[in-house]
């Protein structure tokens, strides 16, 4: 859509700091967000702020209502154009020193021997944010650098366009898995049906990945 977009690590210290840097380069910061339903709108509050996000949603509701539409109508229109996106997070707790060792061993094993498929979906690229490198399997294992700061995170990119991310929690005895799926809306189909397929795909990915991770 012609809008400059960047990714940072999770957390608004990363999002807001990068926003300030981009403004110094001449950009206007419009919107920042993270997986855990946090939003930063504009440059008034340099942090996660539900109030400014809520006012923006209220404005969207008012504009759409003036056009005889709702937020659900708009979401369905987005889904028909770009596909229906669904995301989920799964936390697996392993308490104590043994649990921490188990989670660390899981990350090491996934790095050393990543799966070729997850729930039958072929792995096409692996991004290792600790090594700051992305390996493109379809391009013969071509490795390109990642610009983000090093972090103990692995992202598995799949042939369908789905993505699985694994990382240990930095504050709790947990492994955190994130699942992102995009499902196309078929001609003449309601977006709700594509959304149901996406949710089913997430469930399959979650079950398969937990088995692969032995957690």
Which has the closest alpha carbon to 205: 173, 160, 143, 174? 160
d(CA 40, CA 30): 8
Residue ranges of the chain with pLDDT lower than 70?
Answer: none
pLDDT of residue 1: 85
pLDDT tens-digit readout, 153-180: 999 999 999 999 999 988 889 999 999 9
pLDDT of residue 172: 87
pLDDT of residue 142: 97
Domains and CATH numbers, the chain: 12-69 (no CATH), 80-213 (3.30.530)
pLDDT of residue 209: 97
Kind and range of the H or E run holding 211: helix 191-213
Query: Which tokens go with 155?
Result: 């992202």
Q: Which residues have CB under 8 Å from 169's CB, separation 6+?
A: 91, 175, 176
Beta carbons of 49 and 59 less than 8 angstroms apart: no
Altogether, the residues listed in the chain come to a count of 215
Determine if the pTM surpasses 0.85. yes
DSSP 42-90: TTSSSS--HHHHHHHHHHHHHHHHHTT--HHHHHHHHHHHH-EEEEEEE
């Amino acid at each position: 859509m012609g809008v400059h977009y960047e990714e940072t690590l999770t957390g608004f210290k990363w999002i807001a700091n990068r926003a300030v840097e981009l403004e110094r380069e001449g950009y206007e910061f419009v919107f920042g967000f993270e997986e855990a339903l946090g939003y930063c709108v504009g440059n008034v509050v340099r942090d996660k702020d539900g109030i400014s996000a809520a006012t923006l949603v209220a404005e969207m509701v008012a504009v759409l209502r003036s056009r005889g539409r709702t937020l659900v109508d708009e979401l369905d229109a987005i889904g028909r154009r770009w596909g229906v996106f669904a995301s989920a997070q799964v936390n697996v707790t392993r308490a104590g020193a043994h649990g921490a060792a188990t989670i660390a061993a899981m990350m090491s094993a996934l790095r050393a021997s990543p799966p070729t498929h997850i729930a039958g979906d072929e792995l096409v690229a692996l991004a290792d944010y600790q090594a700051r490198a992305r390996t493109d399997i379809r391009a013969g294992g071509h490795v390109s650098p990642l610009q983000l700061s090093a972090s103990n995170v692995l992202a598995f990119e799949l042939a369908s366009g789905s993505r699985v991310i694994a990382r240990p929690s930095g504050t709790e005895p947990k492994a955190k898995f994130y699942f992102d799926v995009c499902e196309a809306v078929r001609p003449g189909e309601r977006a709700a049906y594509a959304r149901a397929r996406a949710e089913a795909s997430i469930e399959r990915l979650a079950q398969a990945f937990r088995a692969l991770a032995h957690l």
